[in-house]
Structure 1
Amino acid sequence: MDDKKTLLVVEDDPGLQKQFKWGFENCQVVLAGDREEAITALRRFNPAVVTLDLGLPPDPANASEGLQTLQDILQLAPSTKVIVVTGNDDRENAIQAVALGAYDFYHKPVDLEILNLIIDRAFQLNQLEKEKQQLQQKSKEPLAGIIAACEKMQKLSRMVEKIAPTQVTALLLGESGTGKEVFAKAIHQLSDRAEKRFVAVNCAAIPENLLESELFGYEKGAFTGAVKQTKGKIEYAHGGTFFLDEIGDLPFPLQAKLLRFIQERTIERLGGRGEIAVDVRIICATHQDIQSLIEAGRFREDLYYRISEMALTIPPLREREGDAIVIARALLRRFSEQNNKKITGFTKEAAQAIENFSWPGNIRQLENKIKRAVIMSDGVNISLEDLDMDLGESKEQLPFNLKQVREIAETAAIQRALAYCDNNITNTAKLLGVTRPTLYSLFNKYGIEV
């Protein structure tokens, strides 16, 4: 029977168990008499719908065990539809169960015809939610300028879409070369400030003695060489987005002035006396560990809380499974066009090297490799020689054969479960959601010794 039609009945009364077992002919009924059995069955059968009696042993007179079972089920499988079955005098606990996340409740004595209708409706809703989720997954489009296929980046893109229309101050964290400025521009493009300026300043690229005037501007005569009034980058970004890159390198004396600007949204030019109101969306970024800088006394803690109303961590390329080759192909098309080359792809060995290399320099390093390869290539495909790489530089190659991938994953999962359960076979089987005979069969299949 299909998993989506599996019904888990959590009930300690043998008579009701029998009644439920034969009363739901359209479902594969799995029975559990207590919380431990229910969780084991949940892991093993992955039911779409659960009926749950709140009065479970060891305390059947109260609802505490049943409510805890409900919470455990929803924590392990949030999409599961749990129908609480209670006594007529237990309405308060039924309402509490719904507040905790139960789909519906039904009072005893059980009328199988009515309960069947509730269960069928729960199955239908579960299926509709799955179909909606599948459609949303298919319709996902990466943000402008962001090339991504892995789930981590897709989730990050969804976060960007949510925060972009707001005025929240965002802090982008990640190693150098991961694309923090690309994400900042994506936030700007999706905001209501998209038609206004996007102004970026790199705190690490400007000498400390010039950075203040670069940010806040200056009046004529403010210092030697100040021959005219000049707007700063913050003021220049009025109405748009101001991106402060590598804020971890911002000199400590300037941090207080930036904090005041973020709080008051006004600036004073060097040599000036009047306050100037500036309306900007602020986005900051750094590759440094801000908490470590705070502990070392190099970064103001109050400024950190102001700039990190929403913090997004961009993963390095080595953690973005499958993205390296996708990005490489996009870069190949761009550089081939720029250099008037007719290069169509990569050799098998070159693609393997790109996919498996750790890329410590992230996308910036990959970009340099592809640009070099396009210039050096004389054929229609980029080779290992063109990339100036070899397979020895690659990390351990992952297989593409599904059987091999499954064997690797199952072996790792079994070994983790054994370690977690201190080599207790019964507990390991329960944790993995399989029977003891099945687990022994897997031990023999993969040569695992306990």
Structure 2
Amino acid sequence: KKEGYNVFLCEDGKEALERITKDELEVDAVITDILMPNIDGLTLIQRLKKSNSEIPIIVITANTNLEVAIEALKEGAYDYITKPFKNDELKMILRNAIEKSALLKENLELKNKLKLHEPNIIFNSKVMEELYMKALISAKTNVPVLIIGESGTGKELFARLIHRESPRANEPFFAVNCAAIPENLMESEFFGFEKGAFTGASLSKPGYFELANKGTLFLDEIGDLPLSLQVKLLRVLEDKKVLRLGGKEPFDVDVRIVAATNRDLDEEVKKGNFREDLYYRLNVLKINIPPLRERKEDIISLSMYFLRKFCISNQRKIHGFTNDALKILETYSWPGNVRELQNVIERACVFETGSLIGLSSIPVEILESVKDINKKSIKSQRVDTVAFSNFNLDDYLNNIEYELITKALTEAQGNKKIAAEKLGISLWSLYRRIEKFKKADFIINDME
């Protein structure tokens, strides 16, 4: 205590174990004797290490019991001290133990932060599992890879995966958005230039191929490259040499190309917008990522991943989604794909006030879009089953309305506010409809 530590005393090992594991007492170190009633020191070490492997444990033992002390070290104790001992000796061991423990915690937090910022490919669908395995196989080769997919499907994540799992993993990964470079700057950006190559070139500058040398060059939106640059890109891919603007001699480059596009390059070739020879040069291995609407099995896994990620970065405590919210997420068509889903979850994480993300935290335009889809679905299902023998439209519509209200009330466990939200109507409107059915002798179980 004189050293500034908060000290918690326990009568025996059993009390110490209960306070640390059951009562969740947070401690930076444990000092324990070996011979104790109920639970001895060795058993205490074993059980504490199961619940918290990083906690440093210092063992006190007698000179005649060194074999037990060594056994304690094997079980995971940080150090031991023999009786009798000097206080300064114990202080030094304790200080070192706590410093080491703090360093381990800091390293663990840093690793978790790195994992949080490392792009991840999250999936639950068979098609994405197959694409993931295909990417891993592609990574071990040195041939170009062409990744095709709509905007927001995760093309760059696959490119980074291929680089990370390749023999070039410790070399540069250089990403270029071909659609973002002005056409008059493309050649100098891709191949670099020498000093004095053009007005304003006061210094030499390396191009993308030099910057990515020995590593991976990711050419995103390759379909937007003008034909004039496609010719020069093809030459570099075939010769593996680059000539800077204003340069006299080409030099060797060793770059693995991964290209991506959201365009149909077969069609672009037919239209004359993309060179056929360059297309075949790039299209050695192809990874075609389907849009999110075609792999709805991935939506919940992705949503939970983004929720955990944004809860950590925004210091929020949200544990999941309501069933209604999950149904909306699974039904929506996600034209912006995974990127749109990520943005929606981030927004919901910021604005949600409860422990679960509900409908109120999902953008109105998504709710309206899903409502339209459901209306069309219900319409088509109902109309297909209609038989017009002894048919009465009013009775038919009343029966549908009654079934939906009953189902909503049952799922909401009688909570009319929640039932009204499920039905997409106001609470007053629900009360009015319930009264209508009660007057008509319909049984409404509204749990009142």
Cα distance in structure 2, aligned partners of 1:371 and 1:338:
10
Name the residue aligned to 1:334.
Answer: 309
SS of alignment partner, residue 254 of structure 2: coil
Name the residue aligned to 2:198.
Answer: 223
From 309, 323, 342, the counterpart of 1:348? 323
Superposed CA deviations along residues 360-412 of structure 1, whole A, max 9, x for unmatched, are 11011111111111111111111112111465533559xxxxxxxxxx9xxxx
From 262, 270, 289, the counterpart of 2:245? 270
1:293 partner letter: E
1:333 partner letter: R
1:209 aligns with 2:184: yes
SS of alignment partner, residue 280 of structure 2: helix
1:156 aligns with 2:139: no
1:169 aligns with 2:147: no
SS of alignment partner, residue 358 of structure 1: coil
Cα distance in structure 1, aligned partners of 2:368 and 2:191:
51
Count of matched residue positions in the alignment of Structure 1 and Structure 2: 258
1:325 aligns with 2:300: yes
Name the residue aligned to 1:291.
Answer: 266
Cα distance in structure 2, aligned partners of 1:367 and 1:270:
41
2:149 partner letter: G
1:257 aligns with 2:232: yes
Name the residue aligned to 2:369.
Answer: 393
Name the residue aligned to 2:356.
Answer: 381
2:316 partner letter: K
Name the residue aligned to 1:197.
Answer: 172
How far apart are residue 227 of structure 1 and its match?
Answer: 0.8
Residues 149 and 326, structure 1, Cα contact 8 Å, conserved in 2: yes
Superposed CA deviations along residues 203-261 of structure 1, whole A, max 9, x for unmatched, are 00111111211111110011111111110111110111010000000011000000000
Cα distance in structure 2, aligned partners of 1:287 and 1:355:
23
Gaps of 5+ in 2: 1-117, 376-380, 382-448
Name the residue aligned to 1:90.
Answer: none
Please, what TM-score do these two structures have when normalized by structure 2? 0.56
Name the residue aligned to 1:245.
Answer: 220
Cα distance in structure 1, aligned partners of 2:213 and 2:182:
24
Residues 353 and 393, structure 1, Cα contact 8 Å, conserved in 2: no
Deviates more, 1:388-397 or 1:248-257: 388-397
Superposed CA deviations along residues 26-78 of structure 1, whole A, max 9, x for unmatched, are xxxxxxxxxxxxxxxxxxxxxxxxxxxxxxxxxxxxxxxxxxxxxxxxxxxxx
Cα distance in structure 1, aligned partners of 2:158 and 2:356:
31
Deviates more, 1:388-397 or 1:221-230: 388-397
Name the residue aligned to 1:42.
Answer: none
How far apart are residue 321 of structure 1 and its match?
Answer: 2.8
1:112-127 alignment, distance < 5 Å: none
From 153, 167, 171, the counterpart of 1:178? 153
Residues 169 and 309, structure 1, Cα contact 8 Å, conserved in 2: yes
Name the residue aligned to 2:336.
Answer: 361
1:265 partner letter: K
How far apart are residue 161 of structure 1 and its match?
Answer: 1.4
SS of alignment partner, residue 322 of structure 1: helix
SS of alignment partner, residue 200 of structure 1: strand
Name the residue aligned to 1:147.
Answer: 122
Cα distance in structure 1, aligned partners of 2:138 and 2:374:
38
Name the residue aligned to 2:10.
Answer: none
Q: Flag as ranges the 4+ runs of structure 1 deviating above 2 A.
A: 389-397
Distance 1:378 1:144, change over 3 A: closer
How far apart are residue 147 of structure 1 and its match?
Answer: 0.2
Name the residue aligned to 2:426.
Answer: none
Cα distance in structure 2, aligned partners of 1:313 and 1:385:
35
Gaps of 5+ in 1: 1-142, 398-407, 409-450
How far apart are residue 292 of structure 1 and its match?
Answer: 1.4
SS of alignment partner, residue 274 of structure 2: coil
Cα distance in structure 1, aligned partners of 2:229 and 2:299:
38
Please, what TM-score do these two structures have when normalized by structure 1? 0.55
Deviates more, 1:179-188 or 1:157-166: 157-166
How far apart are residue 263 of structure 1 and its match?
Answer: 0.3
Cα distance in structure 2, aligned partners of 1:326 and 1:393:
22
